Amino acid sequence: MQKPIYRRIVLKISGEALAGERGFGINQDTLNSIADQIKEIHDLGVEIAIVVGGGNIWRGRNSDQMDRATADYMGMLATVINALALQDALENRDVQTRVQTAIEMKEIAEPYIRRRAIRHLEKGRVVIFAAGTGNPFFSTDTTAALRAAEIEAEVILLAKKVDGVYDSDPVKNPNAQKFESLEYIDVLNRGLGVMDSTATSLCMDNKIPIIVFGINEPGNIKKVIFGENIGTFVKG
C-alpha cells in the first residue's frame, strides 16, 4: 500500500478556496469537498494542522479607507468564522478537531498554546489555527509559516484556487507558464505572488518546503501527501 511521505503537515487553506463559484462567503458543497479530502489523509495517519485565511469574508489589505490595523483585526475575526465552519464539517465526518485562536475568545475556542497543539496532533486531532498570528500586518500565510516552524511540520501545503505558481496571472493570461519547482529566493526576487515576503522568508530561514496546489480538484491533497508532482514545489 502507498504510504504518506509526510508525518506532520500544515495545510493552509485560503479563504477564497471556501467560497466556491460565488466568490464570497462559505459554499457548503466546497466546504464538504475540502473536509472529505482532509478526512482522507487523516485516515492515513497524517498529523494535520490547518491555518485558514479569511479573504472570502473580509480582505483587510484592500481597504484603503480604513485603518490598516483595524481592517486586519476584522480579517482575523473572519478566519475564526472559517475555522468554525471547517471544524463543523470535519466533526460531521467523525474527525476530531480542536480550534485554537491567536486572540483569546475562550467561549468559542481554546487559546493558542503550542505544546497543547502538538499534544492534540499526537492524539490524532486536527488542529485548526484561527485568528492569524494575532497581530495586524501579518498575513495568514505568515501564520502558516510561523505555526509550521513552531510545531515542526515537515511541509506547508498551500491550498489555492489555482493549481500552482505561474509566471503571470493564469486567470488573465492564457499563456502563463506554471513552475514545477522554485527556490524561495526566486519567489522573493521575482515577486511571485505565492506567499508574501515575510512568510516566504520565514520558510526559507527555517527550511520549510511549500507545495502550492489547487484544492478544488478532489483527491489532490492525497496526491501531494503521496509525493505526486502536482502544483509547484518551493524550497531552498
Query: Which residues form the interface with ligand GTP (CB under 6 A)?
Result: 98, 106-111, 119, 123
Q: How far lies 133's CA from each of 98, 107, 142, 178, in Å?
A: 17, 19, 8, 30
CB of residue 204 to ligand GTP, shortest distance in Å? 33
The label of the residue with cell 492524539 reads 123
Among residues 119 and 207, whose Cβ is nearest to ligand GTP?
119
Among residues 124 and 218, whose Cβ is nearest to ligand GTP?
124
Among residues 68 and 123, whose Cβ is nearest to ligand GTP?
123
Which grid cell sits at 124? 490524532
CB of residue 113 to ligand GTP, shortest distance in Å? 9
Q: Helix (H, G, I), strand (E, B), or coil: what is residue 231?
A: coil
Among residues 70 and 96, whose Cβ is nearest to ligand GTP?
96
Write phi, then psi, for 163 (nearest 5 degrees): -95, 20
Burial class (CB in 10 A: 0-12, 13-18, 19+), 12: buried
